[in-house]
Structure 1
């Protein structure tokens, strides 16, 4: 691809690529690196993107890159326990529980949830992007919803128990 085409794709889809990378990697800095790497790969490698399929193509490249990053991270030793992580401010108060529940999902489940609920892809489209069957996508979505429902219900129950003991 030439530079102008990649720049147009970057302008149109960099936010989508970033959000999908965040859903996989759970780290905004690594997600920014993923965005850069995805678009650099478009510049370096010959590829053909069919008109109207740009978003799905970029989602597929992003998912593959993030899976590679997660695989590589498993091979590295964990960081020292005393390493301080910078605190990210929560953009919307009251959503911390939902964010924590989403972060507890597996990367595959988070990607399916993101692609279905945020990006608006169907199960068949997600299956093509992630390289699984449509029934596999539905299974990931159902398990993710059940896990989220159970976690959020448990957190609400814990909050109610604390508030009744305070009285």
Structure 2
């Protein structure tokens, strides 16, 4: 079984080459791809295979997964651990037992991007993370997105050096205030 990864195609300006006509300036196109395989080329992606965000929203998403998500994940896991300890079978009859499972739901908005996370106590996987915007949805591994967020400050530096500075000051100030 392959693990999913995320490819982020970032465009400050639309490239002049053929095949990039659909690329919006100051945008990030997220694509789910398989780890260990060559990522798909942007030029060959059908429009329904990628998820577009403004660069500023993408940076806020990375900030959320860098600073807030670890706390949310730890709290969910702590509550699950507590529930699993308390979860004992309810015996209706010697041959019939009932077990209780719980599902955690987490919702968060970043600009017009809706983040929705769902995980069940009976599941050993990472849970399901949905990014939803404008009627489109993308299912991601939250651990992969958190890992990607670890390089947020380097990305901000590269973007600034490449001439993009919209909102970078506000994001840096907000990050400093959150710490």
- Could you tell me the TM-score, scaled by structure 2's length? 0.24
The higher relative CO (CA closer than 8 Å, separation ≥ 6) is in 1
- Could you tell me the TM-score, scaled by structure 1's length? 0.25
- More strand per residue: 2
- More helix per residue: 1
Q: Which has the larger radius of gyration?
A: 2
